[in-house]
Amino acid sequence: MKGKKTGGRQKGSINESTKQLKTVKEIVLSTFMKREENKETSLEAFANEYPKEFYAIAAKLIPSEVNANVEVIAPILPPFMKTNESQS
């Protein structure tokens, strides 16, 4: 038998650790954007001075594998590939 919930967070409220994580993310993004304004400290300047390191970092940001479920409802064929069966 379940009792009435009387404590804990209210529905829809943000978890404290999630709130802190967002704050850290915002600080890092803000710092990045400020550094981008200065041509000497921008990502472009880093890429120009250290191309090997830049491309190593960039390569890690590109997904190496994509997991997706694709459902084909009806095959779509260009007109030149249609057969008598698929034209019906």
pLDDT in tens, 34-66: 888 888 888 899 999 999 999 999 998 888 777
Does pLDDT of 24 surpass 90?
A: no
**Which residue, chain included where needed, has tokens 């409802």?**
73
Would you say residue 14 has pLDDT above 80? Answer: no
In this model, does residue 1 exceed pLDDT 60?
no
pLDDT at residue 49 in the model: 94
Mean pLDDT calculated for residue range 14-35: 79
Beta carbons within 10 angstroms of residue 43's beta carbon: 13
C-alpha distances (whole Å) from 76 to each of 16, 49, 83, 88 are: 49, 48, 12, 13
